[in-house]
A = this chain, B = another copy of it.
Amino acid sequence: MHVVTGFDLGPFPDVEGYTEAAALDAADELAGFREHFVIDDPDLIYLDGNSLGRLPRDAERIVNHVMRHEWGERLIRSWNEGWWDLQLDLGDRLAPLLGASPGEVIISDSTSVNLHKLAMAAVRARPGRTRIVTDDMNFPSDVYVLEGVAEMLGAELVIVESEAADDPIDQLDRVIDDTTALVSLSHTAFKTGYTYDLARVTEMAHASGALTLWDLSHSAGAMPIDLSGSSADLAVGCTYKHLNGGPGAPAFLFVRTDLQDRLDNPIPAWWGHAEPFSFDLAYEPVQGIRRFHTGTMPILSLAAVASGISEVSAAGLPLIRSKSLGLGQFLIEQWDQHLRPLGFGLASPSEPTLRGSHICLTHPDGLPISLALIEIAKVIPDFRAPDGLRLGLSSLYTTYVEIHTAIQRLKGIVTGGFEDGFREVRLTVT
């Protein structure tokens, strides 16, 4: 790749909005949390914490302790000294962040595997009902998993066209009926950040006798969630985005207490057995949330999840949400002033209550722009086909001045201050 020198990384104190940004940072009650994360390069503006959260300093300490002391020294004894219950202990620590109770959450497997398990269980618990309802804002991988479940169980997957609709909930309302076994949606949409009213959709599903299964991947750790208060039935989500659990860290699953003993785990294995060490050939599920567990969990990755949960818990979701909305509002103002005239669109809802913790801008040259941003402008966004530039807002470490600076760098990219480099990047990807 052509190296471009002399690109102005800022900051840009003379550009409108800087003073406001600096003042907002100075008043930020969460400012101290940034130091809890490893940030080696102060020039790098990381706007992808909604895809992979930064490394909490404490995670390094925890993982090294697990390696040297628990694996290296204690060896197999560590299974009796914490590992066996780790997925449940961490679930109990995560539960309050989801509005769930202890004993309703475990950390296990991947989001896809958990989604498969709970969707299978839910549809089988609604015999006679033939439909699973999802929408076109859902993460496509979730749609594949649901399609697999539908095929396996002879059900039909209905994909509601919500993305282009004025009110996605109205669209759902037209489809959910007494043939619906399960409604499964992303709480916050991966692309636009549109966020469903969890209670309203759950109520709608329940009115038709359907169960709900939420993917909270893009909202967990970014905003208060009230699973219990909204009577949600089932949920899954990953821990490596706003929960900062580490790359590919094990996912979580939630089953409401009163449903736990009425649903069957479709992958029954020893971790969900009532007496796993009796080594009996007959499967006898344990009572409670453990029955949704399957096999042995990857302990190094699992242990790392603790530090991200601690940071989010210490900061508190109300403050995290209000800062996230503030960052989003500021970003949208900056977009309106500096980027809209350059052909950038806004794909995220302008109404704050409908938004998650990322803002999606669009541009016909979204892919080369995002690559140029990374390689030349030291801003890391996420490109989502066909034209989305997704900018994640992580209240624990994103600053207002970073947003201000990132917008100016983005402007610098498209206004051709380094036209040569931009064309070069473009050639490599299109």
Contacts and interface: CB of A to CB of B under 8 A. Distances in A.
Given A55-B72, A247-B71, A280-B140, A295 B111 contact: yes
A64 interface: yes
B270 A144 contact: yes
A271 to B, nearest CB: 8
Interface string A55-78: 100011001101110111101111
Contacts of A66: 247
A385 B268 contact: no
A297 to B, nearest CB: 5
Contacts of A52: 71, 75-76, 79
A197 B41 CA distance: 56
Given A73-B40, A112-B269, A385-B279, A248 B302 contact: yes
Contacts of A109: 109-110, 113, 295
Interface string A65-108: 01110111101111100010000000000000000000000000
A299 interface: yes
A258 B374 CA distance: 41
Contacts of A304: 300
Interface stretch (A14-22, A145-153, A355-363): A145-153
A60 B54 contact: no
B75 A296 contact: no
A267 B301 CA distance: 22
A380 interface: yes
A296 B277 CA distance: 30
A278 B385 contact: yes
Counting chain B CB atoms within 10 Å of each CB, the highest count among A40, A54, A83, A281 belongs to: A281
22 contacts: A38-B72, A41-B73, A51-B76, A52-B75, A52-B76, A60-B68, A109-B295, A110-B297, A111-B296, A112-B271, A112-B296, A113-B113, A113-B295, A140-B270, A144-B283, A240-B296, A246-B298, A247-B299, A248-B296, A277-B385, A300-B301, A301-B302
